[in-house]
A and B are shown apart, each in its own frame.
Chain A
């Protein structure tokens, strides 16, 4: 079965330091992958998406992700965390007609 695994349920960083949120997927072919962010009691906002074009994908708010087929990974990074980045992050893959969500990673940003 196709799945998405977010390797950390909680990540804590200091403001101004790099962010790494890890995501692995299971598949025998290149999937369609997304990262979404959710602030408390809000809907999900698209950060970026991979659709089999460039393997390094740039998103909003300084985030980017690299698709690595050999490692079946799609990790989300940001060079310097900001307090406003504190939120829940979801790695998502799409199959025709439905999405498969990872369990989410809570990012805490300390001052």
Chain B
């Protein structure tokens, strides 16, 4: 079955440590996204990538980094510079060409919950 796989589902981190969240998709989508979700704040865009080897900052990129070396993979690193990293992180993907660029929906993974101890 095609879909998006995020791992790990739960992750605990000590302050000062970097952690990397994995996101893999087999939908053959060009575009991939990372969102952060906090209670009562909806979803906020961290980074997105429209094509391999290219990515752009979203609304809250500070303290995060990404790479897009393969079409299927878009890992997110939460660095020690992120002051409040405890949150639920969602990865998504979409078609990014033609009509879908304006009207296409995003497909989401199951999320990764990061807790800083």
Partner of B110 from A36, A43, A49, A99 at Cβ < 8 Å: A43
Asked if B42 contacts A101 (CB within 8 A), the reply is yes
A38-57 interface code vs B (CB 8 A; 1 in, 0 out): 00011111100101100000
Partner of B48 from A45, A90, A94, A97 at Cβ < 8 Å: A97
Asked if B102 contacts A101 (CB within 8 A), the reply is no
Measured between beta carbons, the chain B residues less than 8 angstroms from A44 are: 43, 90, 92, 106, 108
Instruction: State the Cβ distance, A108 to closest chain B Cβ, in Å.
Output: 16
Kindly identify, within residues 56 to 98 of chain A, every residue whose CB is under 8 Å from any CB belonging to chain B. 90, 94-98
Asked if A104 contacts B50 (CB within 8 A), the reply is no
Asked if B43 contacts A101 (CB within 8 A), the reply is yes
Partner of A98 from B6, B41, B48 at Cβ < 8 Å: B48
Asked if B103 contacts A98 (CB within 8 A), the reply is no
- The closest CB in chain A to the CB of B9 belongs to A41
A34 within 8 A of B: yes
Given A9-B40, A41-B113, 17 more A-B residue pairs with CB atoms under 8 Å apart are: A32-B103, A36-B108, A41-B88, A41-B111, A42-B110, A42-B111, A43-B6, A49-B103, A94-B105, A95-B102, A96-B101, A96-B102, A97-B50, A98-B48, A98-B58, A103-B40, A103-B42
What 9 pairs across the A-B complex have the smallest Cβ distances?
A43-B108, A51-B103, A44-B108, A101-B42, A32-B103, A43-B110, A101-B43, A103-B42, A46-B105
A residues sitting closer than 8 Å to B (CB atoms) are 9, 32, 34, 36, 41-46, 49, 51-52, 90, 94-99, 101-104
A to B CB contacts below 8 Å, 19 in the list:
A32-B103, A43-B90, A43-B110, A44-B106, A44-B108, A46-B105, A49-B103, A51-B103, A90-B42, A94-B103, A94-B104, A94-B105, A95-B102, A96-B101, A97-B48, A97-B50, A97-B101, A98-B45, A99-B45
